[in-house]
Structure 1
Amino acid sequence: MNFIKAAASAAIAAVICSCAAISATADTFGEIIGTDGQGFEFTTVDASQDAEYLKYRHELFLQAASSNSPAGRIKSDFPELCAYGSYLTHDSRFDGMDRDFCIDVSQWQSYIDWKAVKASGIDNCIIRLGVRGYGSAGTLMIDDRYFENIRNAKAAGMNVGVYFYTQAISEAEAREEADYCAAALKDYSLELPVYYDIESVDYDYGRLDHAGLSYKQKTALCSAFCDRIESYGYQSGVYANLYWLTSLIDGPSLGMNYKTWVAAYLSSINYGGIYDMWQYSSQASIDGIYGNVDISVMYDVDYSPTTALKAELDGKKLSWNKANGADGYTVYGSNDGSSFTAAGDAEGCSFDITGSNYSFYRVAAYNYFAGKRHYGHNSNNVAVKTYSEMTEGLSVKRSGIDRVMLSWQPTDGAASYEVYTTDGSSTNLVGNTAETSFEISGKNLQEFRAYVRPYNADGIGGKVSEEIELPANTPSGIPSLERVGTKLVWTNVEDADGYIVTFSGISGVGETRVDGNSFYMDEERDGTYYVQAYIMLEGRKFRSEASNTIEFKGISYPPKGELVLDAGDGELVWNKIDDAQGYVVYEISADGEEIAVAVVNGCRYATDKLTGTVYSVRAYNSKDGKDFYTEMSNKVVVSLPEVTEAKLESFSGDTAIISWDGIEDCDEYRVYVDLGKGYKLYTSVKGTMAVIAGLKDAEFASVRVKGYSCKDDVVSYGAFSNQLYMIGTEDSRPQQEVFSFEDLLK
């Protein structure tokens, strides 16, 4: 390829040498992955392959020649004149439209002080992103100052667009250039379009000039680039001069679909195609930029449809008149007639509102142009006839494998019902019926909730019902397993048809189906037991997850373990012993006689005569008609007064300090802390103050205190203090039960 043959004059050489050095920014040019996953190796511009460098050198030559001639000195104020465009005659089609100015820059402007540019009154800029080399290789190259310019221009508050100088000779290469731009733009948003700069190489011949492409083929390059860049979500545009737009590409046709930026260094232009930006000079002088810079005037062209729309509603069909030239319509819905959201799009002039739950609708026409929808005025608001009834009494039961039957009470005035399912992120209409039941089928139904909306005879929807969770094929709960001597007992699962007890041990693995909530273990078989609830559907068992496991290693007679008795609010509580079949509660008389007053299976005994009476308890089991008992537990009496006025002294970081009033004859105090899951013994102290730590991440924390003493083998307790809330209040407590000794016994 031949370059400029003539040697540069001394004047141009002097100008080039006096310019600031052109160099890459500090950004690292490496592989960058675009939004479509395409990777590009970004390399800086080779000036010998950059057609715009030829124009840059020519501009320097003209500047040097002008500054050394009388005519040039006379015209020294011309760049300032260009900056304001006062000599331009604008096309009458733009009468009454807002106008603004825009500069376009590349690395050949060297460093730019974008704050100074902004302060000068220029708000818009088009930054060169890159070029395709005009040599036969057609290398894609990034502008050396692209990343610096886009970052600093946006930081200065400029409205930013970009352009790419093409030398593509096929539609595939044009799309590749769009992918390249998208990769370089992936971290940036744009206020202005991505322009496709298509032109001949000035002062030399480029690969596009030599390609011999037809008028139609060169037009197709522009469409290929613009369509591809719009697929990434950017506005698109074509930059070309008047000759290209009228003779080498179909400018008027392109202008119907993409923004058009016309280059014509004239005081007025006569171009019949649609355009909204005119580059009228390359001689502007702008604060913050060294040397001259290209400048354009921007017209605030309205691309939206102008036809006034009138909407009306007939049953479920919203319809309106046609807007001339509209590409489509968007329907909006509102519940209050003022705040509207998009309900859907339509290509024709009607929209079915079935499934939409709005009280008002309106529509707007749009034109899709340069990667963006341009909307006309909204139509009138159309009110939906109201029907305010709500379906109630929803219930659900399994009707088969992956099938459930939803039922509800009849709704006044309802002629039909729509049934919906939702998983919280998406909602689906699964059917409609005139009955008061509907079968829903599908996998993983337990992940969904269902609701119903009634419709009257006019097709107007009422209020949606409350949502109901759909059941899985498996039971809704998991049994909780406990051992009582040789007996396993578990909690009931409401919808279970039965239970399966599984044993695993040295003797093998076995399963037993049980209808009730208990099972006797074989004393001769040591091993592990667990329980599953099941449901029968179409002859198949669907099991819940397994319960907790119970390790069984025979049974000891009498039960093995030591009982520790405690007193709560109106009840006795004690620890569980695995081998026990039950527990006997005793009152201890003044002369020491042990009087059995109750036999219980659990680990608690409630009585209204707890205060002042000494109690003890022991566990038992039976074999071959004979009972075996443990040693008696410690003796307990509630005789001390309650601890009053527990107070929070300080709270810092994750640590609280509390205090309380002392009790006469009290040996120690037990401090119980609740973090929202029940009270647990935290510490025992002899004084009337305690430090409670580890509260940094707690959302709720409360404390209660009770005193105790020990004399002659009897533990004397007092009643509990007030609940002291260290974090949160009674209303914010996750577990509303005031005190649960079950937590203490586990």
Structure 2
Amino acid sequence: MFKAGFIKRAASLLLAAITVLSFPVAAAASTSSASPYTGKTYTHATAFDGYNRYDGVDVSSHNGTVSWSKVKADGIDFAVIRAGFTGYTKKRHSINTDPLASSNISGASSAGLSVGVYWYSQALTQAEARAEANKVLEILNGAKLDLPVFFDYEFAGVSDGRLDSAWSEGTITKSQMTANARAFCQVIEAAGYEAGIYASKSFLTTQLDGAGLAKSYKVWLAHYTTKTDYTGGYYMWQYSSSGDVNGISGNADCNFMYLPKGSEIGKVYEVIGLNVNSRGDNGTDLTLSWNAVSGAVKYEIYTVNGSSETLKGTSTSNKFTFTDLTPATKYSFRVKAYNASRLIAKNNAYSAYTAPAGVSGLQASVSNGAAKISWNTMTCSGYSLEWATDPAFSANKDSVDLTGSASNSYTLNLDNYATYYFRIRAWQNSGTTKIYGNYSGSLSVTYAPPEPNGFSLSAYTDTSAAVDWNDIDGVQGYRVYTVSGDSQTLAGTTADSNFTLTDLAPATEYKMRVEAYAGSLSSSAEYAVCTAPREVEGFSARIAENGAAQLSWNAVSCSGYIVEWATDSDFTQNTGSAELDASATSYTMDFEGADEYFVRIRAYKDYSAGTVYGNDSAYADLSVLPFAPSGFRVYGRGDGGTDLYLSWNAAKGADVYRVYILNGEEQEYKGSTAESRFIFTDLDPAAAYSVLVIAENEYGTASAQTAVCTAPAAVTGLTAAAGGNTITANWNGTD
């Protein structure tokens, strides 16, 4: 490749983006074929039987201006362009840009050729080789290539050349030159390009470890013959430097490229499709797969650390499982594909993380509607906590990712009452992807509804009791029971935080139990309630002759009575009351002005949680009730003792008086009068009577009794006889 003479470095390079193009598949390689560019027949290695063969050229500024469209039309598939070169002077390490590199790269690409580049090297050290590689990267300036960046290592052919003389003088060795080649390729690969080695047959055997380099990089063999006997690995063969290619003035370097069927020129031939199929065993296992390489019979799988490769194993399929990796660790992997002992493809290092180890120490507890989950910290990027309401983690599943290996707890506010199952796994960041480790074992905690509380007896009657309690969010409803000893009876269910017990006995204390439930979970609390006494019946009032109000009623089951009075019917003005025990059936309001009040009564019942009151009776308006009669006086008797004249003081408020003769429990109605007097006309003479006088108006009555006696009947049969100074009288006796 090297042409004598120095070339001025171009001041600047503007490289057009190179699009990867597909090319027609060439005829399958056979044992021999004729080259239209040399007119000779070439015998191909049997290792390439069945491969596709492509024709290519390599050029530099020594070839002058190239008509790339003519080159393409002449059947050329690819071109390798010299990016630059190192001068062979011994005085200094002189690195130079090929002045036509930019135009050749863009021209070849625009014409539809697949393009790669090479650097003509005279490096004596790894540092010089790396400097040359960095110069190539500067020239490329990020341009996309279809083929590798080749390290062209050869003697200049002059005795005082820097590489020639170093070899002849023994100041550089095969080992050093091989290391130089690797140093160049490592810089190229680190920049994302594929690297390759160009060298002659003799160079690959004498000056370089060609076999070793072929395991890592694609080899471009230079051997000007019709049949190469080089047995090392290669995929391109520069078979002539004197080809005749239309579009290139003078002699042209001609090359064969061999690719397995199914692969295309114009694409970097590498192991592709690398993917992590699975990770496991707490981060020590990782299964790597890739697209099968046509013609490959074996794959070697490596971990890569900088320039160092460690063989981890081999596989005859496009899959391999590592079993001894460190959890939560980033690894670089390389897969090399071989046809027999020849490297035919490899990948740039593929990076992936192993999964983190399993998380230990998982604990959980529930308090105040929240679950607190904790665990032991470990090496990772974060944790994924998952929960569900079934042990299979399929019902109501949710999760949260917590960033940072130091996270060791999480508080989850629980929305629904259920048994919650928790498990956790660690994850490791890999770019924008999270690599998850194995789940820990699961554990469960139960979040049951809290016990109902805040009970209050909101309403009651003598046969019912309405109870309220604090609403509990999230429950389906409440079951309400009446409890007696060790047994309970379902009274009903409700979705609201209140319930009314009905069909109860008056003035009776009951124990109720309220059970809040959500699914199969529940909690309960008991509360004592009591029905009211019945409304007091038979309540009546009378005004005594002195103005005192005499109240009476029928007894009911209760703890006592409240008699209440006021000067208005709403019982808001000048109110007063008296509390009486359960034995009372009467009460006298004997204070001044009692007759001017409204009065009512109700019973109450004391029980363990308080006091309940019966309904108020209808009120009595004392101001409209008549007073009881008073001041009874017999103001006359007559008609042989049958008549009796009785009067009394006019009773306040009375419209009429009804008069009765009492005989034990019997009452004999004698008549009524609007005046405060009454004349009996049918009494027995000389008889004692008990008289009941009831003062009455439309609002009520008031009564009083008095005892009277009729006059005897007139004496009959009276006779008298005088004798001396004596008169003797006789009459008929009376009963």
Which TM-score band (shorter chain)? Answer: 0.3 to 0.5
TM-score normalised by L of structure 1: 0.37
| Greater strand content | 2
TM-score normalised by L of structure 2: 0.38
| Greater helix content | 1
Structure label with greater radius of gyration: 2
